[in-house]
Structures are given as C-alpha cells and as structure tokens.
Amino acid sequence: MHRILFLFLTVFFIASAEAAEVRSPEEYLGFPIGADRKLADYNEVMGYLDELAAGSPWVETETIGTTTLGRPFIMAVLSTPDNLSNLSRYKEISRKLADPRGLPAGEAEQLIKEGKTFVLITCNLHSTEIASAQAALELAYEIASGENDMARNALEETVLFLIPSLNPDGLQMVVDWYEKWVGTEYEGCEMPWLYHHYVGHDNNRDWFMVNLAETRAVFEVYFDTVIPHVVLDMHQMWSTGARLFLPQFYPPANVNVDPILYREIGLLGYAMQLECEERDLAGVISDAYFTAYWEGTSMMTPWWHNQVGLLSEAASCRVATPVYIDEVELEGGSKGFPRYEHRINFPNPWPGGWWRLRDIVDYELAIADGLLDCCARHNERFLRNFYAMGARAVAQGKNEPPYGFVIPAPQDDPVTAARMIEAFMLGGVEVHEAVKDFMIGNRLYRAGSYVIRLDQPYRAYAKDLLEVQEYPDIRASEKEDFVRPYDVTGWTLPMQMGIACEEIDEPFEAELRLLENYPYAEHALPRENENIWGFALDPRINASYAAAFALLENGHTVLRADEELALGEDALPAGALLVQSRKGLTDDARALSRDLHAIFHPVTGESAAAARRLKPVKTALFKPWRASMDEGWTRYLFDTHLVPYENVTNEQIKEGEIGDYDALVLADISPDIIKKGEWTGEYARFSRPMPPDYEGGIEDEGVENIKKFVAGGGTLICFGRSCDFAIEALELPVRNVLEKAGPDDFYAPGSILEVAFREGHPVTYGMAGKGHVFFTNSPAFATSLPFGKFDRSILAAYEKKNPLASGLLIGPERLYRRAALVEMTYDRGKVLLFGFRPQHRCQTAGTYKLIFNALLESGRK
C-alpha cells in the first residue's frame, strides 16, 4: 500500500512538474502553428514564451536589449532544469575556453568534461521569412511539455538559446501588413516600407560594423554574455528551387577561418540533412547557392571567432499564404545546382505541388532536432575544438606574420578611428594603446597609437577586417565560368572608414595598455570669455559636420573658412567650420562634445574674418514605395549625424512640393523604380502589384518638377544608380561609361577602389588627395567641356591603371581616367553625381564628408 501510494505520488509529482500547466501554441493562439494565413505576431511570441517559462522548469526567457523602435528584444533559454540551475557555471566555462591564454590544457580538459555545448538558434532576421518565428514556439512547447524526447535527451548535454525573432519590429510590421490584406487581391503583397526601420534586408549586412541596436544586442550574446559554440540562423529563400538549403556551403572559402570550423559546419549540416531525410522531407540541397567567403552576416561573424555558424534557407510560400508550384516551374541554375534534377547534393528532389507555411515549419523543427542531437553526441568534441582553435589562433599570432596592426597617432579623424575600434571591441577583439613612442624597424610610432595584436583568440576576425581582400579565383581555367561572389568582395575597414592603419610583419615590442573603454577622447571646452570669438571645427572629422548641422538648426551663426585656418602653432585645412560665441553656445557645444565627441577649438575674431556664413539647409530625401535599403541607410546616416531632413514621396514630387528644399537626395535606386515604381527588363517578372496608394513612381510630372527644382537653384544629390536617372532626366552632358558593359567585361561587386580627390573644392573639403571609395554596380563618368547652362567640376577620378584596393575588379581599364564624382551646374542649381556608394551600409565613414559638404554647400544660392 505504501509502495503504491509512493508510486502514485511520484507519478503525480513528475506529471505536475514536467507536463506542468503549459498550454500548446494552438491553445494559446487559437490556431495551430503553420496554419494557412495565420501568424503569431511579436506580442504573441513574447507572451507565449513567457507563459512557457512560467509553467515549465525547462524554459527561461530573458531580455537581451531594446529594438530600434523600442520593443523588448527577447531570448528563450531551454535545457534540463538541472542545467538551467547551473547555467552561470556553464557560461563561465564557455568564457574560459574561449580564451586559452592562461588556461593550461589539463585544466581545459576538466572544463571540457564538465561543460555543455551552447547552441544558439536565431529566427526571422528577415521578417518576411516568417516560418522560423512560428516554429520557435512549437519547438519550445515540445521541449516544455516533454513531447520531444530527441530534443529533451540532447539538452542533457547542451543548452539551447532561442531568439524567436532577430528583428522584432519587423515581425510586427509584417504580420500587421499581411493581416491588413489577407483575403483581398493583395494578399501576401510586398510592404511599401522596409521591415527594419532603417535597413530592411541589410540587417544581415551589419555584422561587423554593428550599427543597429539589434546587432549590438546579439553581439553581446555572441561574445560576452553567452558565447555560444554553435549558431544556426534560419532563413527563407525563393520559392521555385530546392525546398531547403543546409550547409556545407559553396566555394570559395575564407582562408582566415580555421579548417576545423569548416569541418564542423559540414558535420552539423549533414546531420541536419540526415534528420530531414529520415523524416522523408524531400528537396534538401547542400553544397550549393551560398558561398563561404565574405564578412557581414549574422551566422558568418561567428566563424572568425571559432564558433560554428550555420544557415538554413527554406523555400518560401507567400508569407502565410500557400503557393502551388508546377513541376516545370522548379529550377536550378545557381552555383552547385545547374539544373533541377537528382544530384549527389540533392538526392531526393521535391516533385512540386502545394507549399505551405506548415511545410517550412516541419523542415525547421527537423533541423533543430537534428542539430541538438548531433551537438549532444559530440559535446566534448565541440568544446575541445573551440578551445583548440582559440589556442591555435594565439600561437599563429605569436609565430607568423602579420603580428599585428597599428592605427598610428595622430589620425585625421580620431573620432571615426575610435568608432572603428569600438566595432572591434564589440566583436570581442582586444585593442591596446601605446603608452610610449615605439619603433618597429625604422618606423616610429607615437604614444597614443592603437595596436591590435594578433596573438589573441579572435585573431582571424581582426585580421580579416583589417587586411586587404583578394577574391579567390577557383576556376580550373579561364574557360570556366567565373564563380560570382554572393555579396561584397572587399570590406577592409580602415579603407572604408578613411583610417590610417599599418600591418606589422615582424615581431615587435611596445609598452601597451589594454583598452577597457572605447577610446573617444574627452576634450575640455574652454570657458566663454571676451577674448574668444568662438570655436572652430576640423573639416576632416565627421563629428564636426554633425555639430555644424545641429548648431545651424539651433540658430547659431556658423561660417566656413575657405582658406587654411591658423590655430596657434597648428592649422586646420580649408573648410573649417566656425561658430560664433553667443549665449547658450557653450552649453550646446558641451553637449555635442559629450554626445558626438565633436572637438571645439577656440578661435579669435581675426581668424574668422574671411569666413563666409552658412545657412541652415532644408534637405529632402526621396522615399520610394518599392522600399530602398540605401534610402534607409541614408536616413540612418542623417539621424546619427543630426542632418535635418524630411522624406518626400512620389506624390510630393509629382505635386511639386519640393520647391522649398535646398537639397534633394536620391539614394542608390534604380531609375525604373524612381520613374515608374516597378522593375523593368529581366526583373519585371518579380514585380507584383502594390495596393493602389503605393503604386507608380514620380512619373513624367515628377521628372519635370525635379528639373524645375534644379534650374531654380536646388541641389540634386545622386548616389550610384540614381545618377543614371539624373543624367537622362536632366539630359546632362555626361555619360556613364559602364552602362553597356557586360558582366564579363566589367565586374566590381562590392569592392574598394582608390580615387584621387580634387582638393580646394567645397565638396571635397576635409578629404585627403587620395582616398578610397566603395563601388558596387556603380556608374563611372565621361564628362564634356562646358557650354550653355551646363558646367562641370570633376571632384574625384580614377587615376591608376588598376584602382582596385580591396576585393575584386574585372575590367579596370574601363575606369582608368574616368570621373568618380562630378558636380554639374545646371542653370541656377547643381547636380552631384556620386559614381560610388558614399554611405554604403554606413560602413564607409571615409566618404561621409562628401555628402555633408554637398548638403552644407547646397544652402549657398
């Protein structure tokens, strides 16, 4: 009797502790996960996970940050109740294994035996790729309720960190938009704005510059608070190819990634494929589509940190609307998959038919289980390799060149240099400052120079971002097709940001201090007194412009010196910005100095005498309804540099509501989108109708109004492809020399090029004579001699036979002696043609000044 009672009590106890009172997603949401046309929004995702955490000892939730639009950014943590109660110990183990310096192998082995593999699954970074945010709820429920033995067993040896959406704002926007149109002819249509407030799909291109609030929060998880060993980022791709991509990736590979890492990517990729095959989920492909080379995405950044990064890409339905795919619509045609047919990397072709949200959820649940299972089976191995890769990195940095990189003092723009160092520190890289002058060979470096030593665990990351990229040509011969990169090919940060940086190829000694804080220098502001006329701001420093915009906006008197400005024993180059003392200036200057790190130099009235006064500038930024990421990045640049602006739409330009602005900015947007609001040519079949309020472009009326705007004294500023629009619309006597070049004649898919800037022009104030620009599908110009209402100034040109500085450039001769940046005068106004991307993904801080100058000078009528 006692025994029976005991058993009964035990069963009852287990039942209440484990099955607890957790509701299924269906009970919570009112529909099953993956049901046609049904989506959980972000509030429901948060609410449901919190409910699971309250009801189950297998689930916890935490807030890892705040999103761009102010939402809580959440992560669930799932493991056995025992593991969760020891989580801080396991985190400590991961932190110790990440840095083998001072951790002898014997001690490491103890930690490896004790530790657990940390698996981070991230979902829904791209908000329309929505299935994973839904699948996350079902996965968490299966674990909490005890329905999923495979995952529960695996969690004995692992801890699962689950971020249900890497872009919560976007998830909410996409669900709201989808629900608005469901049941109408626009069901599943594109949103007319980006699904991230600033950058849309480019939120997966921010993973070394760390501009966005969301990236920053996850960087803390990656390199500080959690330090996962395995990361899987779940995406969706186009509808008509394979059903699911899983690693291994397609060549080329990146030489800085540890070879063990690529093998682990393969092991886990194939384990997930096997799990799909065992569940008879057809159409899984590997070794195709996606390359393993470049920096910038959420799941690749871990590679240079000895952490496994994995990608899954499921075929999409139309948000939550099923699609029917005829078998003849299935197609290959990409890397590793020339035709849609049975292959070794595609042994179970999907035959076509209906494809629904639920199908994607099923594939994603399978790969989550397969991943956890394989990680658990190899728990010690993953931890041991994690430690070994870190140890190998440290040894390589000690024993082979490069030994480090020096960012020598002084820098033209010390604030931007500090921003670069901040990005490295966020990425877990140690940065030192020289306490005293030091020599390497016969080169003298001053105290205050920054040094990134490479004998550190994240050597690969620092090296890959600091060195010059050479895109590998992996063909057997030139007869084969060139393997096109997936994204950019050059990302060398000092070049993009205009920072001097030198590679050190011999062992060196220097007295160094490890930086604990980002090295933004504090500059004391002198008190106002009668001897000071006001302050000067250095035109080489981006923050000076941000300060000038803010001061103009606050009604201060801001002037510009067109000559060199003497400053005691020193001098500022032409273009210095001056602000005259008056009540309230010191407070404003102090705030700008604190928030933006702007540096104010006191000046006398004498030095200000020859300066000319600047007016506040009214800027319009065109925002098409076919949302543009480059427009979004421009907004990000303006918001972070205090440029006052307003967005203008097609309708406003058509109605002629741009006459009051000084400048109209067109980001890198295709002329078809500007004029008609739709793709033409080969992309036309991807254009789906928009709801009537968002259809069309600026049309002929808009073109006429832009002509009037410029003729009347406005400044039109065009980046990249919008230059082609301006050349045609205003019939400018300038030609894009790359317009007719085929992809085999000319190709520069995101490369850094060297240009010569023409000094002494207000738009190039603050720039050095030579510099770097970021070039991707950009134009280059042949100009004509002036006549009539036209004149031109070439402000930057390609003067080297091969201007490639980092990345890939096929056909350099087409750029030789061509213009990269042109200012055209047109009647009373001007057009600035940027034949490159001056604010690309807000990484190219080295060319921001050109934009700021163009804006400041547009106030000059």
* Chain residues in the site for Zn ion (CB under 5 A): 126, 129, 235
CA distance 265 to 259: 10
- Of 419, 765, 757, 759, the residue nearest 572 (C-alpha): 765
CB of 532 to Zn ion, least distance (A): 54
Burial 388-419 (b: 16+ CB within 10 A, else e): bbbbbbbebbeeeebbbbbbbbebbbbbbbbb
Shortest Cβ 249–Zn ion spacing (Å): 15
Q: How far is the CB of 218 from Zn ion (least distance, A)?
A: 15
Closest residue by Cα to residue 511 from 439, 455, 456, 458: 439
State the minimum distance, in angstroms, from the CB of residue 180 to Zn ion.
Answer: 23
Which residue lies nearer to Zn ion by CB, 238 or 683?
Answer: 238
CB closer to Zn ion, 204 vs 736: 204
CB of 300 to Zn ion, least distance (A): 13
**Element spanning 621, H or E:** strand 619-622
- Residue-wise over 581-598: b if at least 16 C-beta within 10 A, else e? beeebbebbeebbeebbb
Alpha helices (H) in 721-828, listed in sequence order: 722-729
Q: Which is nearer to Zn ion, 235 or 356 (CB)?
A: 235
Q: What minimum distance in Å lies between the beta carbon of 166 and Zn ion?
A: 10
In 464-568, beta strands by DSSP E: 502-504, 512-514, 534-537, 558-560, 565-567
Considering the complex, state which of residue 125 and residue 819 has its C-beta at the smaller distance from Zn ion: 125
Q: Are strands 819-826 and 432-434 parallel, antiparallel or unpaired?
A: unpaired
For the CB of residue 296, give the shortest distance to Zn ion in the complex, in Å: 13
Question: Would you say 313 or 631 has its CB closer to Zn ion?
Answer: 313
Q: Which is nearer to Zn ion, 79 or 204 (CB)?
A: 204
| DSSP assignment string, 652-701 | HHHTTTTTT-SEEEE-S--HHHHHHSS--GGGGGG--PPPGGG---SHHH
The percent of the chain in helix, strand and coil, each rounded to the nearest 5, is 35, 20, 40
Of the two residues 237 and 665, which places its CB atom closer to Zn ion in the complex? 237
Nearer to Zn ion, 314 or 425 (CB): 314
- Looking at the Cβ atoms of 129 and 668, the one nearer to Zn ion is 129
Find out whether 707 and 729 touch, Cβ atoms under 8 Å: yes
The answer to whether the CB of 630 falls within 8 A of the CB of 667 is yes
For 796, residues 6+ apart whose C-beta sits below 8 A from its C-beta are 755, 756, 757, 758, 764, 771, 773, 819, 820, 821
Query: Least distance (Å) from Zn ion to the CB of residue 233?
Result: 8
CB of 235 to Zn ion, least distance (A): 3
Q: How far is the CB of 169 from Zn ion (least distance, A)?
A: 16
With beta carbons less than 8 A apart as the criterion, state whether 256 and 304 touch: yes
* Residues 196 and 167: beta-carbon distance below 8 Å: yes
CB of 203 or CB of 839, closer to Zn ion: 203
> What is the dihedral angle through the alpha carbons of 762, 764, 768, 769, rounded to the nearest 10 degrees?
-100
For residues 203 and 652, which CB has a smaller minimum distance to Zn ion in the complex? Answer: 203
**Shortest distance, CB of residue 132 to Zn ion, whole angstroms?**
10
Q: Which helix (H) or strand (E) holds 159?
A: strand 158-163
Give the nearest distance from C-beta 487 to Zn ion in angstroms: 12
CB of 129 to Zn ion, least distance (A): 5
**Nearer CB in complex with Zn ion: 39/510:** 39
**Contact in structure between 96 and 104 (CB atoms under 8 Å):** no
CB distance 716 to 709 below 8 Å:
yes
What would the two tokens of residue 174 be? 């996409």
How far apart, in whole angstroms, are the C-alpha atoms of residue 461 and residue 737?
37
Distances (CA, A) of 588 to 548, 585, 591: 11, 5, 5
Is 243 or 463 the residue whose CB approaches Zn ion more closely?
243
Residues written for the chain? 861
**513 and 435 in contact (C-beta within 8 Å)?**
yes
Nearer to Zn ion, 236 or 306 (CB): 236
The per-residue DSSP string of 438-460 comes to: EEETTEEE-TT-EEEES-STTHH
Q: How far is the CB of 125 from Zn ion (least distance, A)?
A: 6
